[in-house]
Amino acid sequence: MRKLGIDYGDSRVGLALTDELQITAQGLETVNHNGNDKLVLKRLEEITNQYNIDVFVIGMPINMNGTKTDRVEVTQKFIHKLRCKFPKIKVETIDERLTTVAAHKTMNYLNIDKNKKKQIVDTISAVYILETYMNKQKNKIED
C-alpha cells in the first residue's frame, strides 16, 4: 500500500507518492484543473487504481499564527468529495505552512528554470506534505 500526498490549490494540485515500503516520497505530477474538481477526482481514481493507495495526505492551509485561512473551507469541501468518492481510503490532513516556501528554496538551490517553477512547485510542496506525514507516523512508532 502507498500514501498519496496532495497539495490542493485553486487551479493546480500537486501530487506525491510513497514507495511501496513507505520509506521515501517522490513527486508524481501536477494536475491543472482550473477549479474543476471532477478532473482531479478522475485523475486520483486512475492513480489509486494504478498504485494501490490506502491514505490520502492533504495539506491544510493554516496561517503562520495558527488561524485558518480562507482556503481551509475550500480544502475541507474537497476533502468531503474525496471521502465520498473514495470511502475505503483514509484521508489525513497535515499543516502545510511553509511547504511552498520550502519548495521555492529547493527549486532555487537546484537552479530550476523560472518558467518551469510554476509547473513543479505544487508537486514539490506535495512531497513536503507527504514527508511531514511520514515523519509523524515514524515518530508515533518510536514513542
Q: Please list the pLDDT of the chain residue by residue as tens digits (143 residues).
A: 999 999 998 889 999 999 999 899 999 999 999 889 999 999 999 999 999 999 999 998 876 777 777 888 899 999 999 999 999 999 999 987 667 667 767 767 777 777 776 777 788 889 989 998 998 887 776 65
DSSP state at residue 69 = P
pTM score: 0.87
Residue 85: all three cell numbers together = 468518492
Q: Are 55 and 90 in contact (CB under 8 A)?
A: yes
CA-CA-CA-CA torsion sign (106, 111, 116, 118): positive
**Under the phi-then-psi rule, with left for phi > 0, alpha for psi from -120 to 50, and beta for the rest, what region is 120?**
alpha
